[in-house]
A and B are shown apart, each in its own frame.
Chain A
């Protein structure tokens, strides 16, 4: 196959996802190298959803040998995998999903790697750990935080799914908001727009091109009335049927929104990274600073014009010329921002078009979540006002980790253990709550339920988490769409979920 053929084939293969994140998003994906620690079912399901869309490379770190139980719930193990190293066995079956992807494995326990070669993890775009014991998880978290490598923790524990994102600073230029308001600037028209609008001679227009534009800002209802009065009437005084007027009246609420700078963007402008630009500043902050400079100068308090307008009822040439007024202004504004960035020579176009949607996500380190002085007590306590909130599942996961620390196993793995482990687990819950000074009530039912789980990893919950985590990984790699911040809990019993900042 020639290079050109291969490219066409890839375009066809990835067509359905290119329509979501574009060629540039795909390129970011293909340049990424992801590390998975532990090839349990949750992990291989995540990787499946990264290999299929064409991630550049993956490396699995796992020291376990494949057991019969593993083969039972993991699609990427077969009956002749038993006894083999789990990293190796799963890599083979994941690799064959997509020959564009490079699959690698390291037959090693992550603890040993952290002992002997922690810098091994520095090379990755993202590290994902599943079903990892608390102590190793915290160690790994620390190494990755210091190396500024994003870390995604994922686990399936019985009918509970858990994800935690740990990343110092993640910037998003294209957040693709679902229901964004348009940027029409009707309240603060720029000069070219005003000129364009006043060039319309409404009274002398042919009947079918009759329409009126707002000349000043009034109460919306009074404004609609103004619009209604503007509809041309026939000889009997009855208003004509004017589709474009109907459309205008319908859109008064959304079209006349004040052109304000969103709070999220104001926060960016006020951030320390924006204020202190140095030669080490990442491109994102240089551009944010340039946009801020623009707002204070040429923009006269406003962001660069977005340049797109929604479709509206009009004839073609009038629509196109109106569209061009906005487009040209957007290009001018982008050029002005470019001049502010001149000293760093960075590409600017996308940032301007998305200026209102720029986002930054900070997900704090695990050590802070676990620290007695830095735990988010208020968040936990207020959620637990409802004792059946997903927060109780988080507390139970922390409790089973305490149990593991004490007993070197999880509660209720074997039937004969269940009854006694309920008592032991309850003690762990109490000591956890005491350690963090949390005056909350954890119902006995949840202690019982978590013993029932016996640390099982049912495939369907692993599959759900595999999809959820993979999509967050893709957001991190492509810098498109906004990742969660920072703890996600899925309750597969009730089919509910929640996101907490811990």
Chain B
């Protein structure tokens, strides 16, 4: 654009800034406008707040994470933390542009932080090569905003739960200073979405669980005896043949998805994939099914989601705009945005609504209605299959005879084995009473969820 004379050499002041550096951003922070939030006051101090005080946490340093870090850094944010538990893989390089071939195998968070810090002077990204679950409230509490670029619904729900647990209520009234806005984005091929969550105020992740499409799982009878598609042959090799040849546990227990002893199938091990590929070909030949390829095998085993740079760029580009008043002081019309560019370009926004009895954010006590003759197995199935709960591996405990007793827990093999017989017992046999409270823990939430057990006749 038309510009005055610029010095030929860059005069980097003590703040690490040079003349004109933030000019593109300043126009929005220092000038009033007809569409800004009514409470917005243009001032030179907002830029200083961004540069010196505002602390942002980015979760995930993958496709979205790299884009987010770049966008935040070039928008004036300097105090950024990034958490990612993964290391870099070759297949990341087509879109995760902070990484190069030489970085394969290294932690994403660390490489990403180094790149941004050297490319954007003054920006100070702090990496954490860790799982989000390894941090507690004291870590998360320090941030003004949290932005997620995750690839797992479970992790999103955990994060959601963590921020809900930080909320402070004074006499039943929510203290707004305890709210940390959460901005969550996701992409898949040419589709993406971005949403703003104000915990305790607007719809949370669990309020809209039904929006997430269910994972495709083929029926076992199809896989075992009536395959028709190449995918069925691959699942046969993965689910039935692999455990048979690599563990000592009967396949019946495999079907119950219980923990195994032996070599687990590793989707990142090319030898494992090759084995599955060969077995799938044999199976397909038996049934005259065509279409089994190495690429398809890998895709099915690893549940690969196609991904390109452009979609991540678009969604990450909407995220900083969705931050409340920090950046441009606009109020987006709706809190949920979807994007699709398969045919032309399509965007759509709507206001996701809070669910009245959301198990995560509503504070409405959750109920379990079962007859006393129901088996514990049925309760477990309800917790995992119910569309609003969708728990993954819930652990159920109850207070019996004054003591805290674990009724069933899956995630620790020895306890699973000990409590497995309880699954076949009835609620009455287990000594549970009408109105009893059950505490349920699960990977989808950092806090246990309390359920009230009501006996039906």
Contact = CB atoms under 8 A, between A and B. Distances in A.
A428 B314 CA distance: 32
Contacts of A494: 330, 332-333, 349
Greatest chain B CB density within 10 A among A471, A485, A499 is at A471
A470 interface: yes
Given A82-B9, A448-B34, A176 B347 contact: no
B21 A72 contact: yes
A75 interface: yes
Interface string B14-35: 0000111111110110111111
Contacts of B298: 15
A499 B327 CA distance: 27
A19 B299 contact: yes
Interface stretch (B224-232, B240-248, B258-266): B224-232
A63 to B, nearest CB: 14
A49 B190 contact: no
Contacts of B85: none
A103 interface: no
Contacts of A496: 333, 347, 349
Contact of B344 (A78, A176, A499): A499
Greatest chain A CB density within 10 A among B21, B225, B227, B228 is at B228
A483 interface: yes
Interface stretch (A115-123, A220-228, A312-320, A379-387): A312-320
A175 interface: yes
Contacts of A178: 340, 342-343
A177 B91 CA distance: 26
Given A68-B19, A82-B6, A456-B23, A471 B34 contact: no
B328 interface: yes
A15 B75 CA distance: 32
Q: How large, as a class, is the contact surface on chain A?
A: 35 or more
B18 A492 contact: no
A408 B2 contact: yes
B342 A467 contact: no
Given A68-B21, A471-B311, A494-B333, A452 B31 contact: yes
Interface string A406-432: 001110010100100000000000000
B170 to A, nearest CB: 33
Interface of A: 9, 12-20, 45, 48-49, 52-54, 65, 67-69, 71-75, 78-80, 82-83, 96-97, 131, 158-159, 175-178, 311-312, 314-317, 319-320, 323, 408-410, 413, 415, 418, 445, 448-449, 452-468, 470-472, 474, 481-485, 488, 490, 492-497, 499
- Give the top 6 A-B pairs by smallest Cβ distance, nearest first: A464-B317, A467-B313, A467-B314, A68-B20, A484-B344, A445-B34
Given A16-B306, A53-B94, A471-B311, 19 more contacts: A12-B90, A16-B308, A49-B310, A67-B6, A68-B21, A69-B21, A72-B20, A72-B24, A72-B74, A75-B120, A80-B10, A415-B30, A460-B71, A463-B67, A463-B71, A467-B310, A467-B311, A470-B310, A494-B330
